[in-house]
Amino acid sequence: MRVAILDIRNFRGIREGSVHFKDHPVLIGANNTGKTTVIEALTLLLGRERMIRELTEHDFFGSTPQPADRIKLVATITNFPSEDPYQNTDWFRDGRGVPKWLDETNGKISAVRTDLASKLCCQIGAQAYFDRDSLSVEMVRYFHDHDSPMDPFAEDSPVGVPPRLIKEIGFYLVRASRTWDKVFSWGSELFRRTLQAAAAQPSEAILAERDRL
């Protein structure tokens, strides 16, 4: 299996964008062009839970998320062992994903197969929002089964993706050491843990002081 398309919305420096991958993609670009953002978006969607770092408000586009703002990521997965959904029941059945069909010549996804060249695909989504009271980010990963606007935190819970299926995709990330993870800054884990332990100020006061500084 492979990722054919990655859709990104409101994540880090990307307000909205889509990346179409070929069989053996390589990301090349200067610093601050979004390579790491693409890799981290894939990690949120396909990484094992212990690999996923904790998000902060700075991961939202603009770094000042409002209550209704959401990070939204969708990966389109193709290259299943068979193009027949009934031969891939771990992925396509009640309580799993809905089979869709991808035309890789134009990137269009359909609910029914209209062309023999179309490939069976499944879409995995992830959404996140910033809880201003706890100064933390809540995230959910699910089967993305329809394109109409959907807030998984407000509606009935969508179908979650079992960790066993995530392992089948075989996504691995080797992290480099990022200096800001070890710095006492507004976005650092050290800063959040210190505030949590001390219960120093209400969340709104902390955000106000951050904006003032």
Per-residue pLDDT for the chain (213 aa), expressed as one digit of tens each? Answer: 899 999 999 999 999 999 999 888 888 888 888 898 999 999 899 987 766 778 889 999 998 899 899 999 999 999 999 999 999 999 999 889 999 999 988 889 999 898 888 999 999 999 999 998 888 899 999 999 877 777 888 877 788 898 888 888 877 766 655 554 444 455 555 566 666 665 556 777 777 777 776
Report in angstroms the alpha-carbon separations of 196 from 116, 192, 193: 56, 6, 5
In the chain, helix, strand, coil percent, each to 5? Answer: 25, 25, 50
SS3 179: helix
| Cβ pair 140, 155 in contact under 8 A | no
Residue type, 106: N
Beta strands in the chain (DSSP E): 2-11, 14-20, 71-78, 100-103, 108-110, 119-131, 136-143
Amino acid residing at 204: E
What is this structure's pTM? 0.80
Domain boundaries of the chain, sorted by first residue? 2-175, 177-213
The letter for the amino acid at 82 is: S
Q: Which CATH architecture has domain 2-175?
A: 3-Layer(aba) Sandwich (3.40)
